Amino acid sequence: MGRAFEYRKARKMKRWASMAKAFTKIGREIAIAVKEGGGDPEYNPRLRLAINNAKAANMPKANVDSAIKRALSKDAANYDEVVYEGYGPKGVAVMVETATDNTNRTVASMRLIFSKGGGNLGNSGEVDYMFTRKGQFKIAAEGRDVEELELELIDHGLDELKQEEDELVLMTAFEDFGNMQKALEDMGIEVSNAELVRIPSHTKKLDDEGEEAMIKLIDKLEEDDDVVNVFHNMDMEE
């Protein structure tokens, strides 16, 4: 099937095996959403989105309710969203999105992980220009008329529609993320996952040794509790 397929499969299995860590990260997203727009999902699109993602990750409703309650309390932790930029092995550009209640701890962790992984932590803006922020929504493919759906969603900001296994992946421009979220809600289409992603403008092909080193760096970054997402421009094509 190829190294890229095996890599994606291994990552999926790893995600399933680390459900507790996923719940922790979703809990932080809920906390940030509540701080930003209050505890009522009806009037807080970001919280609504976080709750939908929690459902998709099989996070129990009791855990979701508890996370919202904690976020509304006076003693709630304050999380800052901080993006770190750097280079991995062989000069691969890397962007790391974090949610942290201690930026000193997080920056020290990022510097150490990059250094041990054969890369280096860079300055703000050093690699950001190599990526474009996009909205990404995943929905079930079964029973969908893809052409009809595409026509319906173009007016709501759909840039691209592609199929991955049993899911349809809908891409939008960054500024159309909210429009697409509302359109899918109004159409009664259940979203299995929705997030903002960073798409590289170009990719870098590595040899097997470089690819293996880069994958190890990504894994180490994703293991850090403060890390929400890792994006890079390593070529993952077959």
Closest C-alpha to 176, from 133, 146, 131: 133
Its pTM stands at: 0.84
**Which CATH class name applies to 3-72?**
mainly alpha
Strand stretches in the chain, DSSP E: 80-87, 93-100, 120-121, 131-140, 158-164, 167-173, 191-200, 227-232
8 A C-beta contact, residue 88 and residue 204:
no
Q: Which fold has domain 131-200?
A: Alpha-Beta Plaits (3.30.70)
Question: Tens place of pLDDT for every residue, the chain, 238 residues?
Answer: 456 556 665 655 555 456 677 888 899 999 999 999 999 999 999 999 999 889 888 899 999 999 999 999 988 889 999 999 999 999 999 999 999 999 999 999 999 999 999 999 999 999 999 999 999 999 999 999 999 999 999 999 999 999 998 999 999 999 999 999 999 999 999 999 999 999 999 999 999 999 999 999 999 999 998 999 999 999 987 5
Residue located via tokens 């499969």: 9
Q: Do domains 80-129+201-232 and 131-200 have the same CATH topology?
A: yes
User: In the beta sheet, which residues pair with residue 146?
Assistant: none
Task: Tell which phi-psi region holds residue 178, choosing left (phi > 0), alpha (psi between -120 and 50) or beta.
Answer: alpha
Spans of all domains in the chain: 3-72, 80-129+201-232, 131-200
Closest C-alpha to 202, from 127, 151, 141: 127
**Which CATH number applies to 80-129+201-232?**
3.30.70.980
